[in-house]
A and B are shown apart, each in its own frame.
Chain A
């Protein structure tokens, strides 16, 4: 069975450009999370989606960051006007429901030049 799929796996872009990262959750998983992992660090929570409820955006570091999810399917994380400090691995996870085990994708490694 397919796990959580993220694309692209790697993205290199110039400072000031916008980037869009994609996450395909496991089919049937209603909860979806985005995390950021800086080099050698733990994961920082960014945003949480649960079904059609309003997302929890409390972890987004600035208004340059936004995310969308249509129903219980694909999610996109958009970073506008990228800065060098945005360089990190962006990980997506999904679960059957909020308190169930989270299954992570392999992440998108974002490098801002």
Chain B
């Protein structure tokens, strides 16, 4: 059974600071997805990465996929209060459809 570990579990920072959160897998990812979930809402897909070493940017968010496809990081530059939420990584591995395996998430709080 694949296990996804995310770190840190909690992160509390001030507006304008930079941060990085991590996702590590016990086995090679099939494809890695990052989601953000705000309180009372469902997760929203931010990005999908497939190729080892891949880097994707989404405005102030930079996603990196490890060369060995077993780890990933999400870096946020100049965090804003609107970035507050639960950040989840997920893998759709081992099946012919998108059954997702999730990490436990990183709870990010950005204070004004």
Q: Which of the residues B48, B102, B104 comes within 8 Å of A101, measured between beta carbons?
A: B48
With A102-B45, A104-B44 as contacts: A40 and B107 at CB distance below 8 Å:
yes
Query: In the complex, which residues of chain B have a beta carbon less than 8 angstroms from the beta carbon of A102?
Result: 45, 98, 100
8 Å CB interface, A68-113 against B: 91, 93, 95, 97-102, 104-107
Q: Which residues of A contact B (CB under 8 A)?
A: 4, 31, 33, 35, 40-45, 48, 50, 56, 59, 91, 93, 95, 97-102, 104-107
With A104-B42, A104-B44 as contacts: A42 and B105 at CB distance below 8 Å:
yes
Q: How far is the CB of B22 from chain A (nearest CB, A)?
A: 14
Contact across chains for A45 and B100 when beta carbons are under 8 A apart: yes
Contact across chains for B45 and A106 when beta carbons are under 8 A apart: no
Q: Which residues of B contact A (CB under 8 A)?
A: 4, 6, 40-45, 48, 88, 90, 92, 96-105, 107
Query: In the complex, which residues of chain B have a beta carbon less than 8 angstroms from the beta carbon of A97?
Result: 97
For the complex, would chain B's binding face be called helix, strand, loop or mixed by DSSP majority?
Answer: loop
With A101-B45, A106-B41 as contacts: A43 and B88 at CB distance below 8 Å:
yes
Q: How far is the CB of B42 from chain A (nearest CB, A)?
A: 3
| Other contacts beyond A33-B100, A48-B99: 11, CB < 8 A | A33-B99, A42-B4, A44-B102, A45-B99, A45-B100, A56-B97, A56-B99, A59-B99, A93-B42, A99-B96, A101-B45
Contact across chains for B41 and A43 when beta carbons are under 8 A apart: no
Contact across chains for B42 and A105 when beta carbons are under 8 A apart: yes
16 A-B pairs (CB sep. < 8 Å): A4-B42, A33-B99, A42-B6, A42-B102, A42-B103, A43-B43, A43-B100, A44-B102, A50-B97, A91-B43, A98-B97, A99-B92, A100-B98, A102-B45, A106-B41, A107-B42
Q: How far is the CA of A42 from the CA of B4 in the complex (A)?
A: 10
Query: In the complex, which residues of chain B have a beta carbon less than 8 angstroms from the beta carbon of A50?
Result: 97
Chain A residue with Cβ nearest B104: A42
Q: How far is the CB of A61 from chain B (nearest CB, A)?
A: 14
Q: How far is the CA of A33 from the CA of B99 in the complex (A)?
A: 8
